[in-house]
Structure 1
Amino acid sequence: TYRLQVGGLATGKRVWTLDELRALPQESQITRHICIEGWSAIGRWGGVRFSSFLKHSGADITAKYVSLHCADNYWTSIDMPTALHVQTLLTLTYDGEVLPPKYGFPMKLRMPTKLGYKNPKHIVAISVTNEYPGGYWENQGYNWFGGS
């Protein structure tokens, strides 16, 4: 029953199912996740290149920001250049298997160029905007860019 809502400055399909996301071209990459708490882990993530997904969604890729909202009421946002980065991946798998809940089932946005709090899990909505959207931790004083 999962649905991913795409809104804001996007003219394409507004709601996606997991089957539709899995039908898009998939790729995998081995990257390092760096947590602001000081630990890190290397893993093999698989999914849809986020830039491809945004283009399939009819997103205005000249917009400034992408906001990501999660099932657990967490949210964050990134700049469009990060969204379009070749390593930014809308992940659906980990180590060749369906993404487990502890890593963000049904999907996580994986950005090896960002610290962990910028890699949202359990995503249910994506919005493209020119208005600064902030984020859960960012609104509490964490660095908005959050680069690793």
Structure 2
Amino acid sequence: MSDVTRRGLLVGATGLAAAGLGGCDLVADGPGRGGLYGASDWLTFHVQRWLLRHQPLVREFGPEAISAVFPTINTVDPDDPAYRRSKAAGFSDWRLPVTGLVARPMAFSLADLKAMPARTQITLHACEQGWSAIGQWTGVPLSQVLLAAGLKPEARFLVIRTVDGWWDTYDLFDALHPQTILAYGMNGGDLPVKHGAPVRLRVERQLGYKSLKYLASIEAVDRVDGIGQGRGSMVGELGFSWYAGI
């Protein structure tokens, strides 16, 4: 990077920080938190969004790079009666509702998702706990599902909830990225239960906690600042940053 570019980036970042101190919502009607943590979130978010403005892909690896061990954390087999019945039936009765600001609310079966255009990618999963692993994921781009449901122009965020009670929100910048997929396959086989079967989210440009397992529903909304404590996610309410870009 040239000195001019470095200087420009530094000046720009300083300006963003100064602006961010006036209000700590990351985006209009989006999540936010106050104080220095909120200002830091704001600065990180806007600098990263500027760097990623052309929507680059994250690095993808060859099959030889796939990790022999891919750790699992938190829930590894949801203790939910409906989930257990569905698992026993091979997830043949599983459905993923897509509702909210869509023209055609739908409930996608696993077969429906597998019938849509698929993407396979081998990517690095960076966990907030300090470990990383490389896995191969196969699934349908989230953008394809939203296209089928007819995302309305006023929709700006997605609220995604899981069987085990987690929830998070995503703006369309990340939701429509080509590598953001609903994964039903891992390392050449079906997605294992411990990794979120039958379908998990993969948001490759953010830390692992944004790639929710055991998906239960997707809702398109125009704002998220009124959901829960207004921090945009369950992990946000636990002190983590809503935007976990890497």
TM-score w.r.t. length of structure 1 = 0.95
Query: How far apart are residue 103 of structure 1 and its match?
Result: 1.0
Q: What RMSD, in angstroms, separates the aligned Cα atoms of the two structures?
A: 1.2
**What is the aligned counterpart of 1:56 among 148, 173, 181?**
148
1:77 aligns with 2:169: yes
Q: 1:33 touches 1:116 (CA, 8 Å); kept in 2?
A: yes
Is it true that 1:39 corresponds to 2:137 in the alignment? no
2:207 alignment partner in structure 1: 115
Distance between the aligned counterparts of 2:208 and 2:153, measured in 1?
Answer: 24
Greater shift in the superposed pair: 37-46 or 48-57: 48-57
Percent sequence identity over aligned pairs: 36
Query: 1:140 is matched with which residue: 223, 226, 238?
Result: 238
Larger radius of gyration: 2
SS in 1 for 2:164: coil
Q: Where is the helix percentage greater, Structure 1 or Structure 2? A: 2
Structure 1: segments with no counterpart, 5+ residues: none
Query: When you count strand as a share of all residues, which structure comes out higher?
Result: 1
SS at structure 2 position matched to 1:12 = coil
The structure-2 alpha-carbon separation of the partners of 1:68 and 1:24, relative to structure 1 and needing over 3 Å to count, comes to: same
User: Any idea what SS the aligned residue of 2:220 has?
Assistant: strand
Alignment CA distance shift 1:143-1:61 (3 Å): farther
Say whether the 8 Å CA contact 2:196–2:213 is kept in structure 1: yes
Q: Classify 1:85/1:62 alpha carbon distance in 2 versus 1 (closer, same or farther; 3 Å).
A: farther
**Would you say the 8 A contact 2:101–2:154 is kept in 1?**
no
Which sits farther off after the overlay, 125-134 or 34-43? 125-134
Aligned mates of 1:115, 1:60 — CA distance in 2:
28
Q: Distance in 1 between matches of 2:193 and 2:119?
A: 20
Matches within 5 A, 1:16-31: 16-31=108-123
| Equivalent pairs, count | 148
Partner of 2:55: none
- TM-score, normalising length from structure 2? 0.58
Relative to structure 1, is the Cα distance of residues 130 and 34 closer, same or farther in structure 2, using a 3 angstrom cutoff? same
